[in-house]
Structure 1
Amino acid sequence: MKSFLTTILCLLMMSAYAQSAKEILYVGTYSVRGSEGIYVFEFDRATGNLKQMQTVPNDKSPSFLAIHPSGKYLYSVNEGADKNGGVSAYAIEPKTGNLNPLNQQPSKGRGPCHVSVDQTGKLAFVSNYGGGTFTVLPIKADGTLGEPTESMEYTGSGPNQQRQEKPHIHSATLSPDNRFVYVADLGSDKVYIYDIDPASGKVKPAATPFVSVKPGSGPRHLAIHPNGRYVYVVEELTSAVATFKRDAKTGALTLIQDNVKTLPADFSGNNTSADIHTDPTGKYLYQSNRGYNALAILSIAKDGTVTLMGQQPTGGKTPRNFMVDPKGQYVLAANQETDNITVFRLDPKTGKLTDTGKSVSVPSPVCLKLMTVQ
């Protein structure tokens, strides 16, 4: 009888939590066409609806976002800031998910386009596309950002004279064990690998300091397989994906598959790839294509290699960023040029996406981040 009552009590508590918990979607934008800054929505998982809750003023293009592992803070790059760049910190209200500004710091480079936070919550990594620099900022106990502990400058170029005339650092992706950070340089066709030292707030080149992709392909964003053994790199300029095997001990990457096209064979228009994510099970890979305006759907084999399965139009133009729901039920796509976010259901058995018909208007959406607040 006691065991039965305990079970009932647990079920009631779980039900109460589910009813009070809210899922919040944060949307980073470019400061064009009337955008006010960062947009905050409540996501209804049962219906796929998005309800706007708040707009956070920021006129410096708070494009890319990152959420602190504690769920208490959010960080945005300010892509439209001056030549020193900028990063902003916000506190997340526990019950509402609303944002309150904390402070700002320079990113030590023009055009900061990506920010990530390590799993200890002590370091923020900022990629400066225009300045071609990678910067590390400490995160204090109260969530505010400290002054940069280091900022690395790079040299090199690629064969695409318009896009690869110099280094263009585009993203910094943490390994699952938080020991390494992978920094993509679109300008030199390299992915740099660094050891992380949270105690000192610095990084150093790993034993294998970098890996190269096909010349002229332009590595942009990375997705690490849920098992941690494989890494997928968006090749922006060739609309392709490269697959690497990852050494968990050293962080080294070994190329096992390159230049897998993510567009239909008969497409002849202009296109650049942008974002990349796996589903939670690691069976499928998705990559956004701007120009063709769709998400490419690829299957992932047991050896980590990928095969193009098909396409899902995103219901708008220039899907710069998209998000795969951590629970594997939805995919949300941000269409930068048509100012809308579309909601798709994900079939976990086939990897295919179905348009729910749900969409919201947001000026120039760039980045989507989802979290739960209680």
Structure 2
Amino acid sequence: MNRSALPLIVIAYVITMAAGRAAQNAPRQITWTFDRLDTIGGLPVKVDGNPNVIETPLGKAVELNGVDDSIYIDQHPLAGAEQFTFEAIFRPDGGAAEQRWFHLAERSPATGQLVELTGSSTRDANARFLFELRVINGNQWCLDAFVAGPGYSRALLFRDKLHPTGQWYHVASTYDGKMFRSYVNGELQGEAELAFKPHGPGGTSVGTRMNHVNYFNGAVRQARFTPRALTPDQFLKIAGTTALVLLASSAPAQKPTGDYLAFVGSYTHPTLTTTSAAKGIYAFRFDSKSDTLSPLGIAAEAVNPAHLWASPNGKYLYAVSWQSPEKMDTVAAYRIDHPTGMLTLINKVSAKGDLANQVVLDPSGTLAGTVTYASGTFTLYRVEAGGRLSEPFYTDQHTGTPLSPRQPGPKAHGIVFSKDSQFAYVAELGLDRVYSYRIDAANHTVTPLDPPFVSLPGGSGPRRLQLHPNGRFLYVNHETDSKVTVFEIHDGNLKATQTISTRPDGYTANNSTAEIQIDKEGKWLYVSNRGHDSLALYSVDPGNGTLTLVEYIPSLGRTPRNITIDPSNEYLFCANQNGENVVVFGIDHRTGHLTPTGSRQPVPQAAGIAIVKVQ
């Protein structure tokens, strides 16, 4: 062997070993699938709040509520990368204007912390990657891809690149050693030069920024991290979905399809001194074939349209104005444009009191009634040709002494009409009463029964009412003590036969009920719990109308204010006021159980819901 060749062999061996060690230590491509909450990518997960694993057309995904849901993983999957591609498949559901939903953070070499606050600011100083979004007009969003480190900071935010909420998207940011780029569904959103420096080890938060601000409302299906710059043809694909969804952001806007229109009211002024992002009544198109709820936009701007009701013929919508700044609460009539879901105001009339909280039409569609919370009044109107409301022809001002110091006085809160429109029943929360009225619809006269009301125990707080489809039983939920009372009906007179709790045994935290619904077969009854944030499900005895608790179903949002069963009796819609969303559940008629369809849409300060068949 030639001794002069030995040094070259040794050098080659050293170079080979060094290259092997470098390759071994180099970042590798990592994929995370969000289909469980105990581990992701083989790594343990820390969970905050109550995120849910849901079934979607793409497979399982993690859904987050935009309020306090988040997950944390103790790995920075792009640490050490000199170039990168950061990808995610997600569904933004609107909500808050700024949402920072995927955060990769370097752990500070000096302190070992993932977040280092700068003074009193919520901003942190650590090197980081972020996927953020901005919600525009409640139903569109744009991407904000961000990266920062020592000596560099760059955001790619382009507010003219808008996409509809409620659909699945692929997003990516890449860096090729010179240019930082962002993409939505493979379409370039923007680019800028960047003097990037690799990050050290760290961690990841999903659903919020690492310092617990700007929570995300929506779902995350998958993420992938690659230590080189990929081109769009190499990106993750949204498997199992249609080209329309895959290209939602780049294709021309398509008219939503569906067989139902859903209208959702909101609280534009939750209190006398506060405002919200809500603008009025929001319209959606619901497709029962795909269980998809698609936003159509703001159907009508209005102040605090807290409760909605659709006419039996599906042509008109009615809304109460709760706590308007002018202190002139009204009931409004709108004409529904079925092709677009937009509303045209027909007229407004006085609610004859302050804080109007419900409007209801009788089954014939010829009478409308409203109640006021602050004034304790029950008022009736004629529904005239073209959906117009007449001036009030009857108002009853409730009076009396409260049965409990918990109740401050008359506070009317709910109405239901009998199927033949000959009777109306009104829940009087402040006086712990349920009133009965005999109605002559032809002559527009109203007579309180004798006695005019039945009393519930002091501090019950009767709020809303539902009649059994057979007309023999009345159900009233109690706001204050979280119970339901069953009444037998005899020619308009009421006799209580059962009272049952809406809360789990041992649950002692604050709770109040909001809405009550019964399915059209009279087999299952649902009550929404605000505080426990659930829907209490009861089976209904067909003989005597009494209730048996079956289960508690999570409402998938905070403060479920309104629940409504659609005209087909197949779906229950739930408006979570402080969760700021509307969730659609499928009804299992064998068990009464509710299963989320996976279609959830944001509505700021969501309130009443009304659903009509598309014409």
TM-score (norm 1): 0.90
The answer to whether residue 359 in structure 2 is matched with residue 115 in structure 1 is yes
Letter of the aligned partner of 1:237 in structure 2?
T
CA contact (8 A) 1:96 1:373 kept: no
2:532 — aligned with what?
292
- Report the CA distance shift for 1:96/1:57 in structure 2 as closer, same or farther (over 3 A): closer
CA contact (8 A) 2:562 2:609 kept: yes
Shift of 1:296: 0.2
- Give the counterpart of 1:282 among 522, 528, 537: 522
Letter of the aligned partner of 1:112 in structure 2?
A
1:309 — aligned with what?
550
Query: 2 CA distance for matches of 1:317 and 1:80?
Result: 22
Q: Point out where structure 1 has 5 or more consecutive residues left out of the alignment.
A: 1-19
Query: 2 CA distance for matches of 1:360 and 1:97?
Result: 16
Shift of 1:130: 1.0
The answer to whether residue 301 in structure 2 is matched with residue 64 in structure 1 is no
Query: 2 CA distance for matches of 1:324 and 1:138?
Result: 26
The answer to whether residue 320 in structure 2 is matched with residue 77 in structure 1 is yes
2:368 — aligned with what?
124
2:35 — aligned with what?
none
Query: 1 CA distance for matches of 2:341 and 2:391?
Result: 26
Write out per-residue CA displacement over residues 93-133 of structure 1, whole angstroms, 9 at most, x where no aligned residue: 24444311111111110000000112332221010011111
For these two proteins, the number of residue pairs brought into alignment is 351
Letter of the aligned partner of 1:58 in structure 2?
E
Letter of the aligned partner of 1:123 in structure 2?
L
- Give the counterpart of 1:25 among 262, 272, 290: 262
Letter of the aligned partner of 2:569 in structure 1?
G
Query: 2 CA distance for matches of 1:95 and 1:179?
Result: 35
2:591 — aligned with what?
350
TM-score (norm 2): 0.55
Q: SS of 2:264's equivalent?
A: strand
Query: 2 CA distance for matches of 1:61 and 1:160?
Result: 29
Shift of 1:84: 3.8
Shift of 1:365: 1.0
CA contact (8 A) 2:300 2:343 kept: no
1:180 — aligned with what?
423
Letter of the aligned partner of 2:369 in structure 1?
F
Shift of 1:138: 2.1
Query: 1 CA distance for matches of 2:260 and 2:354?
Result: 33
Q: SS of 2:386's equivalent?
A: coil
CA contact (8 A) 2:567 2:613 kept: no
Query: 1 CA distance for matches of 2:514 and 2:384?
Result: 32
CA contact (8 A) 2:483 2:501 kept: yes
Query: 2 CA distance for matches of 1:279 and 1:199?
Result: 30
Q: SS of 1:342's equivalent?
A: strand
Q: SS of 1:316's equivalent?
A: coil
Query: 1 CA distance for matches of 2:364 and 2:604?
Result: 33
Q: Point out where structure 2 has 5 or more consecutive residues left out of the alignment.
A: 1-256, 269-274
Q: SS of 1:238's equivalent?
A: coil
Shift of 1:67: 1.3
Letter of the aligned partner of 1:177 in structure 2?
D
RMSD: 1.6
- Report the CA distance shift for 1:194/1:129 in structure 2 as closer, same or farther (over 3 A): same
CA contact (8 A) 2:299 2:341 kept: no
Query: 2 CA distance for matches of 1:234 and 1:191?
Result: 11
- Give the counterpart of 1:148 among 352, 377, 392: 392
Write out per-residue CA displacement over residues 237-296 of structure 1, whole angstroms, 9 at most, x where no aligned residue: 11100001112xx211111112x0111102110000111111222111100000000000
After TM superposition, list the pairs within 5 Å mapping 1:327-366 onto structure 2: 327-366=568-607
Mean CA deviation greater in 54-63 or 346-355: 54-63
1:6 — aligned with what?
none
The answer to whether residue 423 in structure 2 is matched with residue 196 in structure 1 is no
Mean CA deviation greater in 146-155 or 164-173: 146-155
Query: 2 CA distance for matches of 1:226 and 1:317?
Result: 30
Query: 2 CA distance for matches of 1:308 and 1:208?
Result: 32
- Report the CA distance shift for 1:185/1:306 in structure 2 as closer, same or farther (over 3 A): same
Letter of the aligned partner of 1:268 in structure 2?
T
Letter of the aligned partner of 1:50 in structure 2?
L
Shift of 1:202: 3.3
Q: SS of 2:480's equivalent?
A: helix
Query: 2 CA distance for matches of 1:54 and 1:358?
Result: 16
CA contact (8 A) 1:97 1:373 kept: no
1:16 — aligned with what?
none
1:135 — aligned with what?
379
Letter of the aligned partner of 2:536 in structure 1?
A
- The percentage of aligned residue pairs carrying the same residue is 40
2:448 — aligned with what?
205
Q: Which structure's CA Rg is the greater one?
A: 2
Write out per-residue CA displacement over residues 224-243 of structure 1, whole angstroms, 9 at most, x where no aligned residue: 11111111100111110000
